[in-house]
Amino acid sequence: MSETTRNRLMLAIALVLAAIYLFPLYWMYITTLKSGSAMFATPPSFWPSDPQWSTYAYVWESRNLARYMGNSLIIAVGAVTVITLLGTGCAYVLARYRNGWVDVGLFLILMLQVLPASLMITPIFVGFSQIGLLDYPRLAVIIAIAAKAMPFFVVLVRATFMSVPMELEEAALVDGNSRVGAFFHIVLPLARNGILVSAILIFMQAFGEFVYSKSIIQAVEYQPASVGLNSFMGPNTNEWNNIMAFATIYVTPILAVFVLLQRRIVSGLTSGALK
């Protein structure tokens, strides 16, 4: 088998696998455009003959999607802000100091990441209810998500900081800067890419978060889109086109961000900030 044929075969396999993997996404988009009867037609059609664009407007209005999306955005932005502010400092310290306590700290941080959200939610719920945090349900979810996603962020950003040579900081100190000044002038700009990428990943995670939001937020007006989508689906649901439209509106912005930034995300994760 020649090199070209083998490459073509590989490409074909990759395309088939990608098609299988992406089919649900395709099915989601296509279903939103179908009418009620077209949805249940046998055999199913893979291209809508009569696209129903009005479904989007209908779902947006009837399900109060603006509110759900707003709540998702508040929770995601809040969690990313908390994590970025606290996690960056934490990651820097863990990157620059090496001793037994730091190793213990890193181990505990990694342990946190191992525990699943569905396990953590019960103690978190009880604890938050004791200190009255459940009266501010979105804040409570932000804190819970921050605690959950922090280890991921710290581990990634720590690696970024470690790729910034200590000598650069020392050069800045000798050049007349203070420790804090050297951090903000030299280290932070060089670690910016890594921090940004980690923050985007955290944002996407927090935007789709479900377990904590579902358990902690009882009031409908504070629920994010993930919970809204879940409550849309009942045992006897048959309005799949509306549900799919909800899902489409929910995930398309995240997908768009990911597609636009994927090159930077991949390079930011695999290489350090420096050359």
Partner 1 sequence: MTQQIELSGVNKYYGAYHALRDIDLSIRKGAFVALVGPSGCGKSTLLRSLAGLESISSGDLIIAGEKMNGVPPRKRDLAMVFQSYALYPHMTVEQNLTYSLRIRGVKKAEAKKAADEVAATTGLSILLHRYPRELSGGQRQRVAMSRAIIRNPKAFLFDEPLSNLDAALRVHMRKEIRMLHDRLGATSVYVTHDQVEAMTMADHVVVMRSGLIEQQGAPLDLYDRPVNRFVAGFIGSPAMNFVPAKVGADGETLVVDLGGPQTIRMARPLQPGLNVIVGLRPEHLLPAEAGRALLHLPVASVENTGAATHVTTATTPELTLVLNGRIPLSPADSVPITFDAAHLHLFDAKTEMRLVPA
Is the CB of 74 or the CB of 173 nearer to partner 1?
Answer: 173
CB closer to partner 1 out of 179 and 263: 179
Nearer to partner 1, 86 or 102 (CB): 102
| Residue 85 C-beta: closest distance to partner 1, Å | 22
Closest separation in Å from C-beta 179 to partner 1: 8
**DSSP result, the chain:** --HHHHHHHHHHHHHHHHHHHHHHHHHHHHHHTS-HHHHT-SSPPSS-SS--THHHHHHHHHTTHHHHHHHHHHHHHHHHHHHHHHHHHHHHHHHH--SHHHHHHHHHHHHHHHS-HHHHHHHHHHHHHHTTGGGSHHHHHHHHHHHHHHHHHHHHHHHHHHTS-HHHHHHHHHTT--HHHHIIIIIHHHHHHHHHHHHHHHHHHHHT--HHHHHH--SGGG--HHHHHHHH--TT---HHHHHHHHHHHHHHHHHHHHHHHHHHHHHHHS-S--
Q: Which residues bind partner 1 (CB under 8 A)?
A: 165, 167-168, 170-178, 181, 186, 189-190, 274-275
> Measured from the CB atom, is 127 or 189 closer to partner 1?
189
Least CB distance from residue 103 to partner 1, whole Å? 16
Compare residues 160 and 226 and give the one whose CB is closer to partner 1: 160
CB of 98 to partner 1, least distance (A): 12
CB of residue 190 to partner 1, shortest distance in Å: 6
